Amino acid sequence: MTALIILLLFIIGACLGSFFNVLIDRIPRHESIVKPGSHCTNCGKPIPFSKNIPIISYIVLKGRCNYCGAKIHWHHLVVEIITPVLFIALYLVYGLSLNFLNFALMTCFLIPIFFIDAFHKIIPLVLSIPMAITGLLLGLIRCGFNFKDFSLIFLLPVLLLFAFLYLLALLWIKLFHREGLGGGDVILIPAVGAFFGVIHIPWVILLACILGLLYFLIFVRKPNQGFAFGNIVALASAIWMLIGDKFLQAIGWFL
């Protein structure tokens, strides 16, 4: 049974990864994600189903268009592999549970956000706002529709975090006359918090700050040079959703 579920998750994840590639390619260009269908961005030829099978088609075609030979960006293969791998990892950690559904849906937002922010340094509102709403709705379900618990664990922390980050971003601009925390980050971080809840939010932010600092020291180094923080937040969230509970249990045992 476990093997069958893993196989199904791999197939579903690979297919969703193919759709996420559409989002990654088209949202920054303000194109419809529905029409036209899959096509080569170089020659414009439609890609038939037989040449559009997730993972397999990229490998068989050696990462090139079947018609004009133009290179297909490597992120298509990476996304189609990462998505099912994360789904399977979540299943192995949480089983088929509400927590699995919660973090699988968060993953569906984080993957396109990660690559769009990495390539274009933007976090589209069309992804971050629905992500926040989805996280809060799932939070309400996880609280058994107890609005008091939902407010304390999810709603109020998310709203307070948004208000704090918004004011921090304004203060940074006022003091340094340049943007420090982007508007997309101000929405993305609370959106991530909507999936994690009040206990995990500080840890996710701490992990994102540590990863961001390491990235800055290794790859940036110039004090005035900015970098995309949204993909760092997405990476920290992906790591924490897999190890967060175990980490906190280990701390509790150690203390």
- pLDDT tens for each residue of 139-172: 999 999 999 999 999 999 999 999 999 999 898 8
Host H or E run for residue 174: helix 156-176
pLDDT at 254 over 60: no
Among 238, 13, 234, CA closest to 123: 234
User: What is the tally of structural domains in the chain?
Assistant: 2
148 and 166 within one domain: yes
Predicted local distance difference test score (pLDDT) of residue 223: 64
Q: What is the per-residue pLDDT for 253?
A: 60
Q: Is 66 exposed, middle or buried (0-12, 13-18, 19+ CB in 10 A)?
A: middle
- Read off the pLDDT of residues 187-246 as tens digits, 9 standing for 90 and up: 999 999 999 999 999 999 999 999 998 988 888 767 666 678 889 999 999 999 999 999
Q: Are both 150 and 247 inside the same structural domain? A: yes
Domain boundary among 96, 123, 156: 96
d(CA 79, CA 70): 19
- Residues 156, 215, single domain; the answer is yes
Angle at 104 between CA 6 and CA 166, to 5 degrees: 160
What is the spatial distance between Cα 224 and Cα 214, in angstroms, rounded to a whole number? 16
pLDDT band at 183 (very low <50, low <70, confident <90, very high): confident
CB environment 107-126: b (16+ within 10 A), e (fewer)? bbbbbbbbbbbbeebbbbee
- Residue 26 DSSP symbol: H
Question: Alpha-carbon distance 137 to 135, whole Å?
Answer: 6
Task: Clarify whether residues 73 and 115 are in a common domain.
Answer: no
Q: Are residues 38 and 62 in the same domain?
A: yes
Domain coverage including residue 69: 1-96
Taking the model in full, what pTM does it have? 0.91
What's the rounded Cα separation, in Å, for the pair 225 and 78?
28
- Asked if pLDDT for residue 99 goes beyond 70, the answer is yes
Q: Which residues pair with 64 in a beta bridge?
A: 71
Sequence-separated (6 or more) residues with CB below 8 Å from residue 182 = 123, 169, 229, 230
Residues 90 and 133 in one domain: no
**Claim to verify: residue 193 and residue 231 sit in the same structural domain:** yes
Neighbouring C-beta atoms of residue 81, cutoff 10 Å: 17
Same-domain pairing of 23 and 117: no
Question: Of all residues in the chain, what percent are helix, strand and coil, respectively (each to 5)?
Answer: 75, 0, 25
